[in-house]
């Protein structure tokens, strides 16, 4: 095991054992190096790796906020890491569909319970933007992702938001390429917009059961039409 891995594993084990919590400050580099019998260079390399993963944050200085501490909020690095794994693992399309159905049925149920007037206005604005017939595939897919992630955000479950975002963003390129191969993409997009509107109406009326059924129908329809390989 490399020296920096010894340091990284030590910190990870402290987190898993509950010895380090959100906001906890790690011991100074010199002390950590002495404790583990490694160089300070190895400590710095381990800390850079953990910071890239979003597990720790570092601040130079002598004040109360200086030093390296356990991150206190979900990092975009987590979503990016999940996104890369989804993109590279080439999961069967059936697995992707079922995962999306499970996530997004619950997302839309929570959104139906939580959405206020401002939330609905934001979702409505996204829908209005997607209805521009001159919009290109790239921009439509970006707004489509934003719509589904926006619904997840209304559920206020941070882990589910990260998972939904990762899966949607990982599928952005395959969906775009499949869309380009459709013989009648404009008709397909009109169907998606109608389904988005039905989801919105169910959420706005706080009909969680109907919203869940409609979003499942929407997801399954899209993958039935899109020529995506597994």
CATH 1.10.10.10: which residues of the chain? 3-70
**Fold of domain 76-225:** 1.20.120
Residue 39 confidence (pLDDT) above 70: yes
Contact 113, 209 (CB under 8 A): no
Instruction: Note the pLDDT tens digit of each residue in 53-88.
Output: 888 888 765 555 667 888 877 667 776 777 677 777
**83, burial (CB in 10 Å: exposed 0-12, middle 13-18, buried 19+):** buried
Single out the residue of 219, 202, 223, 224 nearest to residue 211, CA to CA: 202
Rg, C-alpha atoms of the chain: 22
Contact 83, 33 (CB under 8 A): no
**Predicted local confidence at residue 188, as pLDDT:** 93
> Mean pLDDT over residues 186-213, rounded?
96
Contact 168, 130 (CB under 8 A): no
Q: Which backbone phi and psi does 226 adopt, to 5 degrees?
A: -70, 130
Q: Which backbone phi and psi does 25 adopt, to 5 degrees?
A: -95, 130
pLDDT band at 161 (very low <50, low <70, confident <90, very high): confident
The total of other beta-carbon atoms located within 10 Å of residue 9's CB is: 13
What does pLDDT average to over the chain? 88
Q: Which of 66-80, 91-105, 111-125 has the highest mean pLDDT?
A: 111-125
Instruction: Note the pLDDT tens digit of each residue in 201-228.
Output: 999 999 999 999 999 999 999 988 887 6
CATH 1.20.120.530: which residues of the chain? 76-225
Residue 181 confidence (pLDDT) above 80: yes
Q: Which CATH number fits domain 3-70: 3.40.50.980, 3.40.50.1110, 3.40.47.40, 1.10.10.10?
A: 1.10.10.10
Instruction: Note the pLDDT tens digit of each residue in 142-155.
Output: 999 999 999 999 98
């Amino acid at each position: 095991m490399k020296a920096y891995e010894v340091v990284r594993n030590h910190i990870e084990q402290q987190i898993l054992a509950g010895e380090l919590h959100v906001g906890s400050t790690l011991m100074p580099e010199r002390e950590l190096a002495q404790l583990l019998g490694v160089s300070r260079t190895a400590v710095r390399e381990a800390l850079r790796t953990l910071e890239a993963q979003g597990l720790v944050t570092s601040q130079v200085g002598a004040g109360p906020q200086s030093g390296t501490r356990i991150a206190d909020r979900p990092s975009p690095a987590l979503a990016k890491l999940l996104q890369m794994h989804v993109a590279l693992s080439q999961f069967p399309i059936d697995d992707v569909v079922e995962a999306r159905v499970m996530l997004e049925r619950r997302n839309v149920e929570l959104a139906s319970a939580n959405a206020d007037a401002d939330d609905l206005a934001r979702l409505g604005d996204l829908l209005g933007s997607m209805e521009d017939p001159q919009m290109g595939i790239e921009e439509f897919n970006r707004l489509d992702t934003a719509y589904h992630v926006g619904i997840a955000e209304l559920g206020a479950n941070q882990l589910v938001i990260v998972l939904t975002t990762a899966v949607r963003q990982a599928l952005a390129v395959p969906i775009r390429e499949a869309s380009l191969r459709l013989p009648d993409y404009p008709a397909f997009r009109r169907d998606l917009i109608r389904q988005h509107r039905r989801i919105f109406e169910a959420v706005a009326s706080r009909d969680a059961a109907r919203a869940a059924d409609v979003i499942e129908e929407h997801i399954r329809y899209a993958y039935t039409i899109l020529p995506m390989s597994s």
